[in-house]
Amino acid sequence: MSVCGLAGCKSALPPTPLEQLNTQQMQGHAVFQARCAQCHYDRKDKPLHGPPMLGLFKRPTLPSGAPANDERVTATILHGHGLMPAMGNTMNQQDIEDLLTYLHTL
């Protein structure tokens, strides 16, 4: 048995290819590029200025230790966390919903 088999590792599924995203997911990708890409990678599993978003909802917790769910990710977007600034005044509800939908494809 491999080390991953013993340790319970699982390989992460790759993100949904951009050409397979639906309209809302593509809108979320556009929001990510405009608001998040300067600090976070979406399709690479390495940090930029902030943690990578690849597999964000495939993990049990966020880098902060909070549960990886829509509620906690939304709170982080709206109110910020650590070095991440609050984005609540710069994003509308539709942008946030589209962004969450996109993040679920990663």
pTM score: 0.85
User: Are 32 and 99 in contact, with CB atoms under 8 Å apart?
Assistant: yes
For residue range 37-94, what is the model confidence (pLDDT) as tens digits? 999 999 999 999 999 999 999 999 988 889 999 999 999 999 999 899 999 888 999 9
- Res. 7: pLDDT tops 60: no
- Res. 95: pLDDT tops 90: yes
- Candidates 1.10.3720.10, 1.10.760.10, 1.10.10.10, 3.20.20.70; CATH matching 20-103: 1.10.760.10
CA-CA distance, 89 to 84, in Å (whole number)? 14
Domain boundaries along the sequence of the chain: 20-103
Per-residue pLDDT at 88: 85
